[in-house]
Amino acid sequence: MKTEKITVNATPQQPKGVEIDIVQPEGKTEERLLCYLLTSHIALMKQRDQMPYELSDQFHIDHHRDGTFIAMSQPSTEETGGYYTPPKPVAIIGIRADGPRFDIIHAAVPEQQPAAMPTPDDTPQPNSDSKDDKTEKK
């Protein structure tokens, strides 16, 4: 494993953000091991109410990229209607290295709103200066 510096929490007030060291796996084995260890640690954080996200009792952790991991809800059927609920990303997680100490950093994954249907005003109108479909006879 290695550590890389990344920038987080960039805002208009603080455009440079905060630079932190984050742990990155260097191979598939390290990636799977960190996913396994993070799953149990996140479950423990959830039991202690230290995870402020809507994380179901069954979830898994996937490596995303550049040392970030995603907590995904497990696919299931809804209790009321039996409809299939696909897995959805709940939180982005990372392991921050701060000298000899390691911390879990996390942030919510923003929910994507479905695209709005076009309103009648949004529909394209025919070009006003186009010629009529009538053809001239000679």
The DSSP annotation for 95-132 comes to EEEETTEEEEEEEEPPPPPPPPPPPGGGSPPPPTTPPP
SS3 state of residue 90: strand
Residue 138 lies in a domain: no
pLDDT computed for residue 77 by the predictor: 62
Residue 134 lies in a domain: no
Residue-level pLDDT, tens digit, the chain, 138 residues: 888 888 877 788 888 878 888 899 998 999 999 999 999 998 898 889 888 877 777 888 988 888 889 888 877 666 666 677 777 888 888 999 988 899 888 888 877 655 555 555 554 555 545 455 555 554
**Cα distance between residue 115 and residue 100, in whole Å:** 46
Instruction: Give which of 28, 65, 60, 62 is closest to 42, Cα–Cα.
Output: 60
Residue 53 lies in a domain: yes
Q: Give the residue numbers spanning the domain of 82.
A: 28-111
pLDDT computed for residue 112 by the predictor: 65
pLDDT computed for residue 106 by the predictor: 86
**Cα distance between residue 65 and residue 79, in whole Å:** 34
pLDDT computed for residue 36 by the predictor: 92
The residue whose two tokens read 């905060």 is: 18
Total number of domains constituting the chain: 1
Residue 106 lies in a domain: yes
pTM of the model: 0.66
